[in-house]
Amino acid sequence: MIKAVLFDMDGVLFDTERLYYDTLVGIVREYGYEMNRDFFIGTLGVPGGRCREMYFETYGDGFPYEAAYERLYGDVRKSVKRNGTPLKSGVMDCVKALKERKLRLVLATSCPRFAVNDYFSTLPELGKLLDGKVCGDEVAKGKPDPEIFLKAAQIAGYGPAACLGVEDSSSGLRAIRAAGAYAVMVPDMLPYSDELKPYTDTVLKSLNELPALIGNLNAE
């Protein structure tokens, strides 16, 4: 019986991954590098420390990671304050339907708390529907380690076996699987592939399909 849903944020609730990518391409180019789309996708859901290592492994130790990401978050925050936080399809209808069924809803994102606060500040109604948030700078080990989902399950008040996690990244799905929760992928920039099969229980086209899935799982 599914009692709680643990949501990733970027690419699942918010349509921000393309915004990150488009912004980062320009920033990286100014520093004399070219951003590879596949490389960027590989960094999705990866905690800051490991992400930093990946940039150095790809671009060399001279890559200005801290400066680039400080600019990235600054530019994205300005965009969000100016235009609002872009939602993925079906988010509000999905979240409202799950709350009507008395499910607990908790955010489990690798994004730092200051950025999460900025994004939700433009969507107060959505924020009120969540029962808690766990951010990337609030855990010792990021995805694919299960810590963030285990902590989110604890906030929800249920064991991982009673939780369903929703992700769009490989590292996130691995974290859900390691935590022992039911793993759902809603693909965004990363398409579903057989490589993700060991870590994915169900693939949905959008969050519009999630309430029905949980209804079917709980009817079994």
CATH of the domain at 104: 3.40.50.1000
Same domain, 124 and 212: yes
Q: Which of 83, 116, 131 is the last residue of a domain?
A: 83
Same domain, 65 and 110: no
Structural domain containing residue 27:
17-83
Same domain, 109 and 186: yes
The per-residue pLDDT for range 48-86, each reduced to its tens digit, is 788 899 999 999 999 999 999 999 989 998 999 899 999
Same domain, 35 and 54: yes
Return d(Cα 73, Cα 133) in angstroms, integer. 19
pLDDT at 3 over 90: yes
Same domain, 32 and 130: no
Q: State the DSSP string of 10-69.
A: BTTTB--HHHHHHHHHHHHHHTT----HHHHHHHTT--HHHHHHHHHHHH-TT--HHHHH
Output the CA–CA distances (angstroms, integers) from residue 188 to 15, 97, 166, 207, 215, in the order listed.
Answer: 9, 22, 12, 11, 24
The per-residue pLDDT for range 140-149, each reduced to its tens digit, is 998 999 999 9
What's the mean pLDDT when you consider all of the chain? 94
pLDDT at 155 over 80: yes
Residue 102's pLDDT band, with cuts at 50, 70 and 90, is very high
Predicted local confidence at residue 90, as pLDDT: 94
Q: Give Cα 187 distance to the centre of its chain.
A: 11
Same domain, 66 and 102: no
**Greater model confidence, 51 or 200:** 200
Same domain, 66 and 173: no
Q: Which of 52, 83, 114 is the last residue of a domain?
A: 83
Same domain, 197 and 91: yes
Question: Per the structure block, which two tokens stand in for 97?
Answer: 């339907």
Return d(Cα 87, Cα 13) in angstroms, integer. 6
Same domain, 55 and 164: no
Same domain, 10 and 94: yes
Return d(Cα 155, Cα 177) in angstroms, integer. 18
* DSSP state for residue 104 in the 8-state scheme: E
Return d(Cα 151, Cα 67) in angstroms, integer. 30
Domain count, the chain: 2
Element (H, E) at 77: helix 65-83
Predicted local confidence at residue 220, as pLDDT: 81
Predicted local confidence at residue 129, as pLDDT: 97
Same domain, 155 and 180: yes
Output the CA–CA distances (angstroms, integers) from residue 34 to 40, 46, 49, 53, 64, in the order listed.
Answer: 11, 20, 21, 17, 13
The per-residue pLDDT for range 7-31, each reduced to its tens digit, is 999 999 999 999 999 999 999 999 9
Q: Which of 63, 83, 103 is the last residue of a domain?
A: 83
The per-residue pLDDT for range 174-197, each reduced to its tens digit, is 999 999 999 999 999 999 999 999
Mean pLDDT score, 152-173: 97
Same domain, 129 and 74: no
Coil, helix or strand at residue 163:
strand
